[in-house]
Structure 1
Amino acid sequence: MPHQDQPLTNDDEEDEVLLSEEDEDLLEWASTAELYAVGYIRILADAIERGDDDLQVDPMAWENTLTAVEWAMLEHIRGRLHGPTAITVEDVERMRRLRGLGSSALSGGERSPELGTLALRCMESLFGPDWKRAAREAASYARALSQVVHPRSGTEQEPR
């Protein structure tokens, strides 16, 4: 196998393990779920930290995305997916707790003081030491998606 900076030759390509189309789709879906989850986590945590009335995350998007990322994290543990960090059962349990606390805050309930610290730990468990850059980019993608599909009505709007 050549050094990572060298181009692959035909002989090297034979050594690579090819993924099935289903596995490639799963990997792409899980990566997208993780990216949007980190975006929503960052947006929510920042809004709570600032004390904003509007938490800027659609509750259904939060629930669906964090449920999806929990599943993706379990697939990491099972060895079907690989990412920049080694996901543990404790990481999944923290993500579940974050999903519950975030859902409560988004539905007008308690804004737990634990949410900010838990959000940071969850973002780090997905992206490792590079979580800050990943979270900034992901929040930008999540905000862009919210501009196209209005979170309260579900109707499409023209991108701004």
Structure 2
Amino acid sequence: MAHSVRPHEQDLEDQLDWAANAEACAVSYIRNLAAALERGDAELGVDPSAWENTMAAVQWAMLEHVHGRATWPPTITLEDVERMRRLHVLGSVALSGGERSPELYPLALRCMESLVGPDWKCISYEFELNVRALNHDVRPDTGRDEDSR
């Protein structure tokens, strides 16, 4: 007889999957934003609607982690959630054409570190490739556009 998953367990598993996807998207968007800021690009490379949705989702996932309902390394603290909220607000202003606070770039780096740890540069690149692959932009094995074979 096949093992069946109880509805509550399935809901929890779905929420954890959703939280992991929110984290991956957030890291990818934050990385893109930080890279554009570092280069001084006029275009920040993140859709404002996608930013809003993803940042709200990752803040929810981070609070789930703080309250012990979801876990991933590294440990997320309330201070990390507050930093992410601040990044959400400052990023929203910048993405809508407003002020680019000098706090935005270092805050983006710190938030990536709080999500994936001190090796955020390497990990954030991998997350970006996976998110782009999910969006069918690139092949995850090569990192190249699917159309440029």
TM-score (norm 2): 0.82
Q: Which runs of 5+ in 1 are unaligned?
A: 1-18, 149-158
Secondary structure, counterpart of 1:81 in structure 2: coil
* Corresponding position: 1:43 with 2:71: no
Partner of 1:125: 114
Distance in 2 between residues matched to 1:116 and 1:20, nearest whole Å: 39
Distance 1:94 1:101, change over 3 A: same
Distance in 2 between residues matched to 1:107 and 1:53, nearest whole Å: 12
Partner of 1:23: 12
Partner of 1:155: none
TM-score (norm 1): 0.77
Task: Tell me the C-alpha RMSD between the 2 structures.
Answer: 1.8
Asked which structure has the greater CA Rg, the reply is 1
Distance in 2 between residues matched to 1:141 and 1:52, nearest whole Å: 24
Q: Which runs of 5+ in 2 are unaligned?
A: 1-7, 139-145
Seq. identity, %: 62
Count, aligned residues: 132
Distance in 2 between residues matched to 1:109 and 1:131, nearest whole Å: 27
1:141 deviation in Å? 3.6
